[in-house]
Structure 1
Amino acid sequence: MNGGVDLLAAVRTLLGPVGGGPTDVIDPVEAAARVAWSAVVEPGDAVAGALVQGLGAERALASVRAAEDDGPLALVEECADAGVPGAEDPVAFLGTVGSALERWGPRLARCDVSAVVAAAVTTGARLLVPGSAAWPAGVDDLGPHAPVVLWTRCGRAAPGPALAVVGSRANTVAGAEATAEITSAAADAGCTIVSGGAYGIDATAHRVAVAAGTPTTAVLAGGIDQLYPAGNVELLRNVARQGALLAESPPGTRPTRWRFLARNRLIAALGSATVVVEAGARSGALNTAHHAAQLGRPVFAVPGAFSSPASVGCHRLVVEGRAQLVVRPGDPVDAVVGPRRPRGGRHVLHADEPLAPGREDPEVLRVLDALGRRALGEQELAVRSGMSFAEVADALALAELQGLVVHGVGGWTRS
């Protein structure tokens, strides 16, 4: 990993202090390598996570760069010697690593850790890595899907229990009232409120927490400098002052639908329990509930009128045994701070079950996210999406068949 004294000094500055803990135990070279990984891979990349956890970030990055030139055989052998999960079957693991190298390659060539660090310094962000005083231990439960770094703008440390509150962007008045009551109960019990900063239920939960003077955390789908949506910028600034903003993508990374889906796993991991207040049939809040169930966290759903489209998702969670019914505002809070007594109606998925993608093909979704207003070639799309050239070509072909993209003289555009 290349980097001079100035880079390492900047990394040390970004590392702390956050949460009042020591930072001299964090190796800045290893932290800088994690920053590089965050710039190369998309959130939740399980192959990258396994390599970083098994080999260490710096060693894994050096080995991957070598594999780019010499092929993946030496990397696979190194992983097998280190006991990296999956490497015990070298033939299958060789294919897995080969595919990963293809999707990482376009960004590896452009990776500039100094630029990422400089952008973070300009933004006033802090860098969290495993071992940092303020690193949230809950995200480690994601295993290889855990973030390699987290960026934060934090006004108040919140080490206590947390409740994730999510729901529809187009909430009803009843949904807002239920959110306010649940959030108030959680605040009274000393819980941090975790949500995604979106319109609707997310925003209501954050606003009630701010008004109650309790810490609240908003997990962003883009970089820590990308306060989105625009209508919630002032709210998110208030969250940063009273609690924390968190992001796993480097500063400057724009939020996309794919990253919103990936972001949901962090919301679920940060909360000791998750409550879905309102959710339509295809709401992203259901994705958060799914991740919470995978992690073995309690999931709750607020009932609504049977005629309300905003409650269809909540009702399905309960009927399918994936969530407990909220009977009173304190029910989710009891699961976080009260005695852990058995409750009916919760279905926990097997820990090894893969994270569920959105309803669209995930690779098509990532290519569509990468397309902007102007036409783009496949090489630029590979860099923007974090996919290999072959994956981009396949996704574009499928998207073209579905009538989602068109190819012109200047490249690909949305249809």
Structure 2
Amino acid sequence: MSQNITEHISSLESMKKYPKEIFYKGNLDLLKRPKVSIVGTRRPSLYTQQFTYSLAKALASRGVCIVSGAAMGVDAIAHEGAGEENTIAVVANGLDIRYPVLNAPLIEKIEQKGLMLSQFNDGFRATGWSFVVRNELVVALGDILIVTEADINSGSMRSVEYAVKMGKEIWVLPHRLNESLGTNKLLVEGEAKVIQDIELFASHFGQAVKTDIVKDDFFYFCQKSPTLDETLKVFGERVYEAELLGEITIHNGIVRLVEAI
């Protein structure tokens, strides 16, 4: 059963019209995390498939939640790269319908471990205009937008228009001439920045850490490498407990999360 949670989401003021209803299935705690929206073509090249997956995985390892639209191609790859427990899928239909059918197993896993969102009541089937509505919500939820591959006249480029209006940074993968004409056009016009190195880009969100560390307020505080005094002031004895558990290190008065091996 899906429920309306509009009041639980504080990042939607930038939308043209604030949603009256947003229904969900899954883990609402994901809304509290740093979020990155990833969109792109339904028919990605092998190059795009590889680096979309790697990018989503690198961001998720730093506690970032990946937001996408559960469609074939880039969307599904982004969800899979992040892992179902680190992703939010926004759909253009009611949450009682798993669409597209080929992604039904993935959607079911996201329902169980991640978060599904929709602005549409149960029983509503996707239409052309509902995908446009879906795209705006995907963009609004993310702190930034990444487009990994897109043609000029595509839904992904419509998402870019939303990001521009919302004042969000837009990032793209580098592509060869005559490939991904939409993202290459964004670079030429100076509307997007290019991701040249996956790990370097992901490091802006902190360091990769062990997957079993709980992604809570303490985790995100320590991602910023605070001083010991700052951390003790906020979290008290939790700091030393985390050190004993091997979650953080304290060196020269600086607290850092233990990196993934």
Is the TM value for this pair above 0.5? yes
- Measured in 2, the distance between the counterparts of 1:292 and 1:330 equals 24
Aligned residues: 207
State the partner residue of 2:93: 222
Give the greater-gyration-radius structure (CA): 1
Q: 1:333 to 1:291 in 2, by over 3 A?
A: farther
Give the secondary structure class of the aligned counterpart of 1:218.
strand
For the 8 Å contact 1:273–1:332, the answer to whether it is kept is no
What is the rounded CA distance, in whole Å, between the counterparts of 1:334 and 1:146 in structure 2?
32
Give the drift of 1:304: 1.3
Could you say which residue in structure 1 is the equivalent of 2:119? 248
- Cα distance in 2 between the residues matched to 1:273 and 1:332: 12
CA deviation after TM superposition for structure 1 residue 145, in Å: 1.1
Q: Structure 1 residues 146, 336: CA separation in 2 closer, same or farther (over 3 Å shift)?
A: farther
Matching residue of 2:17: 145
TM-score, scaled to structure 2: 0.74
Distance 2:39 2:183 in 1: 11
- 1:239 aligned onto 2:110: yes
Q: What is the CA–CA distance in structure 2 between the aligned matches of 1:257 and 1:187, rounded to whole Å? A: 31
Change (3 A) 1:141 1:331: farther
User: 1:282, 1:220 → 2: CA distance?
Assistant: 21
Q: Which residue of 1 aligns with 2:198?
A: 329
Distance in 2 (alpha carbons) for counterparts of 1:253 and 1:197: 16
Distance in 2 (alpha carbons) for counterparts of 1:160 and 1:219:
16
Amino acid at match of 2:189: E
Q: Determine the structure 2 residue equivalent to 1:319.
A: 188
> In the TM superposition, what whole-angstrom CA distance separates every residue of 1:47-82 from its partner, at most 9, and x where no partner exists?
xxxxxxxxxxxxxxxxxxxxxxxxxxxxxxxxxxxx
Please list every run of 5 or more consecutive structure 2 residues that lacks an aligned counterpart in the other structure: 207-222, 225-261
Q: Is residue 128–residue 152 contact of structure 1 (8 Å, CA) maintained in 2?
A: yes
Pairs within 5 Å for 1:164-313: 164-210=37-83, 214-308=85-179, 311-313=180-182
Q: Percent identity?
A: 28
* Inter-CA distance 147–304: structure 2 relative to 1 (3 Å threshold): same
Deviations 1:274-320 (A, max 9, x none): 10001012221111122112111111011112132xx1111011111
Measured in 2, the distance between the counterparts of 1:209 and 1:328 equals: 18
**Distance change (3 Å), C-alpha of 1:156 and 1:238:** farther
C-alpha RMSD over aligned residues: 1.9
Deviation at 1:140? 2.4
Structure 2 CA distance, aligned partners of 1:289 and 1:201? 15
8 Å contact from structure 2 (residues 11, 141) kept in 1: yes
Runs of 5+ unmatched residues, structure 1: 1-123, 340-415
Tell me if the contact between 2:34 and 2:64 (Cα under 8 Å) persists in the aligned partners.
Answer: yes
User: Secondary structure of 2:36's match?
Assistant: strand
SS in 2 for 1:274: strand
Structure 1: distance between partners of 2:166 and 2:204: 15
Counterpart position of 1:127: 4
Q: Which moved more, 1:328-337 or 1:163-172?
A: 328-337
Deviation at 1:330, TM superposition (A): 4.1
CA distance in 2, matches of 1:217, 1:182: 16
User: 1:156 & 1:330 partners in 2: Cα distance?
Assistant: 28
The answer on whether the counterparts of 2:35 and 2:66 sit within 8 Å (CA) in structure 1 is yes
Kindly indicate which of the two structures has a greater share of residues assigned to strand: 2
Structure 1: 4+ residue segments shifted above 3 A: 330-339
TM-score with structure 1 length normalisation? 0.48
Report the Cα distance in structure 2 between the residues aligned to 1:335 and 1:272, rounded to whole angstroms: 13
Give the counterpart of 1:162 among 23, 35, 48. 35
The superposition leaves residues 314-347 of structure 1 with CA deviations (integer Å, 9 ceiling, x where unpaired) of 10111112111111114654666699xxxxxxxx
* Greater helix share, structure number: 1
Distance (whole Å) between structure 1 residues aligned to residue 17 and residue 204 of structure 2: 25
The alpha-carbon distance between structure 1 residues 140 and 180, as it changes in their structure 2 partners (threshold 3 A), is: same
